[in-house]
Amino acid sequence: MRPRYHFARHLRTGAVAALGALAVLIPNRSFAQGRGGRGGPDTRPEVTFPVNIPTDDARITALKKEAMRMVDSMSTFSQQMVDMVFSFGELGMQEEETSKYLTGILEKNGFKVTHGFAGVPTAWVATWGSGKPVISLGSDVDDIPQANQKPGVGYKDPMITGAPGHGEGHNSGVPMNITAAIAVKKIMERDHIPGTIQLWPGIAEEQMAAKAYFVRAGMFKDVDAVLFAHVGSDLGVSYGQSGQNALISARFNFLGSSAHAAGAPWAGRSALDAVELMDVAWNFRREHLPLTQRSHYVITDGGDQPNVVPPTASVWYFFRELNSPDVQGLFALGDTIARAAAMMTSTKLGSVDILGSGWSGHFNKVIAEDMFENIKQVGMPKWDDKDQTLAKGIQRELGQKNPRGLSERTMTELAAPQRTEDMRGGGSDDIGDVSWNVPTVTLRYPSNIPGLPGHNWANAISMATPIAHKGVTAGAKVQAMTVLDLMLKPTVVTQAWDYFKNVQTKDIKYFPLMRPTDQPAIWLNKAIMDKYRPEMRKYYYDPTKYKTYLDQLGIKYPTVRDTTKTVP
Ligand SMILES: [Zn+2]
């Protein structure tokens, strides 16, 4: 047992108190059991679980070929959706134009749409078909603050300085799923194949603020399998415990009392002092935390002006750890430090808002193996010189001495999951909550450029160019083929649930990391969008006038420069 678990156990009491009536059902041995010795056979149950998927018969082979052809024939349709969502550039919880546009397309194509799902105005669920199996396709749609960037330009060049932009590539996933779903729907209609296709958007993924609420509101209660998709620079899938960290997003609100900062400072109590002391204490304490933790904060309220002792101040933390009990421990430590900071400053910790949360994802071996066969058939897109020039241009711009451009290599083997003791922590995705409720995989599709910083303007560069479009077409083929497998090979679904019940959730049962009283933070990012949207509207894509968004913006593809500059 690793020291981390002792740490978690000490702190869990506080976390549970702070989070209300949470059932902590994960045993301490958690994810660390059942492995073979190093060098010996890998005896972890997720690795030894046998998967037996029948090879494609003549009918399925023909239908998959047809699905691939259909996706190819829809490439202009896919490109327009990708470019359109890129041009909306909306932050989490404010994906109004994006959701209106995408649901409009789905409704036009015969899908039934429920708007405002789980009390989130921009959330929706679309379904088509009837009966079992119910196959669900999801991907995120929100973007990144201050990541506004002209597509196809290989250096920092925003359309609107300071505005948000798709610096994570979330403009591509739902368009990809829509193309795949429409292709499969046509085949199912014609051949009278029973089953239901569901589509949904990951709202405010960057704040981990919606998927746990989708689960709570029952979005997946009748679903047999979820094919999630996230942009990357390769075509791939994985299974088992992901390297993603579980996360609790919490805002600590301090209350002091104001006074004239020069005339009577002794009469005031600074809420900002409490925020600063909390941050200082956290930064000392982090030296003595497990290396797998990640924690970061921004001060969202630091007072109004220097001559008024700040009566209110708030700091927003992301706490991340490998699993849910450990992230609760980390949050509890933050909560303790916040209370101590309030004591030190004679202020009050007014409230602690949970703004988001998410489990570390665990992905289904059976569906991953099935999808992987389709990935091998589809293969990486063929990049041309222009695509490679753009990729190498931005890689050079970021100071990479031997820019490697875009990869054309397709995965040849489905790798076994990383061992828990080798995990070093990292980012998060609230698909984790979904993955602990229904068999789920995440398809990575190659619409972005490798070697970029992430959550950055550089990651927006490719996202309305042929790189994104080709990646989406490749990904849509894999999604469509895998949906066909799930519809036509009932054993895939049966085996997926066998893995889910008897391996994945045998000892670990899902519980939400947010409190029962918590509600989606639908106000997130409203002020930023209100500020920038009027200007951003001028740049919305108009496909009736322009073939591509690059055409509309008058950008020569690719536009790069030769200088080598290191971007901070
Ligand atoms: Zn993302």
Q: Residue 71 pLDDT > 70, yes or no?
A: yes
pLDDT class of 271 with cuts at 50, 70, 90:
very high
Three-class DSSP category at 255 = strand
Q: Residue 10 pLDDT > 90, yes or no?
A: no
89 alpha carbon to ligand 1 midpoint, in Å? 14
Q: Are strands 348-358 and 246-255 parallel, antiparallel or unpaired?
A: antiparallel
491 alpha carbon to ligand 1 midpoint, in Å? 31
Report the amino acid identity of residue 159. Answer: M
Q: What is the mean pLDDT of residues 202-228?
A: 98
pLDDT class of 21 with cuts at 50, 70, 90:
very low
Q: How far apart are CA 176 and CA 163, in angstroms?
A: 25
The closest alpha carbon to 253, from 335, 149, 192, 161, belongs to: 335
Torsion of CA 301, 304, 309, 313, to 10 degrees: -10
Extract the tokens encoding 110.
């015969």
pLDDT, tens digit, 9 for 90 and up, residues 399-433:
999 999 999 999 999 999 999 999 999 999 999 99
Q: What element of type H or E holds 241?
A: strand 240-241
Q: Residue 77 pLDDT > 60, yes or no?
A: yes
CA 121: distance to chain centroid? 19
140 alpha carbon to ligand 1 midpoint, in Å? 7
Residues in the 5 Å CB sphere of ion ligand 1: 168
481 alpha carbon to ligand 1 midpoint, in Å? 23
What phi and psi values does residue 78 have, to the nearest 5 degrees? -65, -45
pLDDT at 468: 98
pLDDT class of 26 with cuts at 50, 70, 90:
very low
Q: Residue 28 pLDDT > 70, yes or no?
A: no
Q: Residue 19 pLDDT > 50, yes or no?
A: no
Q: What percent of the chain has pLDDT over 90?
A: 92
pLDDT at 33: 40
Neighbours of 477 (CB within 10 A): 28
pLDDT class of 538 with cuts at 50, 70, 90:
very high
pLDDT at 567: 53
Q: Residue 224 pLDDT > 90, yes or no?
A: yes
Which of 155-159, 392-396, 496-500, 560-564 bottoms out in mean pLDDT, i.e. has the lowest? 560-564
510 alpha carbon to ligand 1 midpoint, in Å? 22
Which of 6-15, 199-208, 256-265, 292-301 bottoms out in mean pLDDT, i.e. has the lowest? 6-15
pLDDT at 4: 38
pLDDT class of 82 with cuts at 50, 70, 90:
very high
206 alpha carbon to ligand 1 midpoint, in Å? 7
Percent helix, strand, coil in the chain, to 5, is: 40, 15, 40
Q: What is the mean pLDDT of residues 242-267?
A: 97
Q: How far apart are CA 233 and CA 371, in angstroms?
A: 17
Q: How far apart are CA 463 and CA 204, in angstroms?
A: 19
230 alpha carbon to ligand 1 midpoint, in Å? 6
Three-class DSSP category at 300 = strand
Q: What is the mean pLDDT of residues 381-400?
A: 96
Half-sphere exposure (CA, 13 Å, Cβ side) for 220? 24
6 alpha carbon to ligand 1 midpoint, in Å? 32
Burial of 425 (0-12, 13-18, 19+ CB in 10 A): middle
Three-class DSSP category at 66 = helix
2 alpha carbon to ligand 1 midpoint, in Å? 30
167 alpha carbon to ligand 1 midpoint, in Å? 9
Q: Give the global pTM.
A: 0.92
pLDDT, tens digit, 9 for 90 and up, residues 468-490:
999 999 999 999 999 999 999 99
pLDDT at 40: 84
168 alpha carbon to ligand 1 midpoint, in Å? 6
pLDDT class of 562 with cuts at 50, 70, 90:
confident
554 alpha carbon to ligand 1 midpoint, in Å? 28
202 alpha carbon to ligand 1 midpoint, in Å? 9
pLDDT at 564: 54
Q: What percent of the chain has pLDDT over 70?
A: 92
What phi and psi values does residue 174 have, to the nearest 5 degrees? -70, -40
174 alpha carbon to ligand 1 midpoint, in Å? 12
Q: Residue 84 pLDDT > 50, yes or no?
A: yes
Mean pLDDT (the chain) is: 93
555 alpha carbon to ligand 1 midpoint, in Å? 26
Q: Residue 2 pLDDT > 90, yes or no?
A: no
Q: How far apart are CA 49 and CA 43, in angstroms?
A: 9
Q: What is the mean pLDDT of residues 87-101?
A: 98
Report the amino acid identity of residue 470. Answer: K
139 alpha carbon to ligand 1 midpoint, in Å? 9
449 alpha carbon to ligand 1 midpoint, in Å? 14
Q: What is the mean pLDDT of residues 507-530?
A: 97
271 alpha carbon to ligand 1 midpoint, in Å? 34
194 alpha carbon to ligand 1 midpoint, in Å? 32
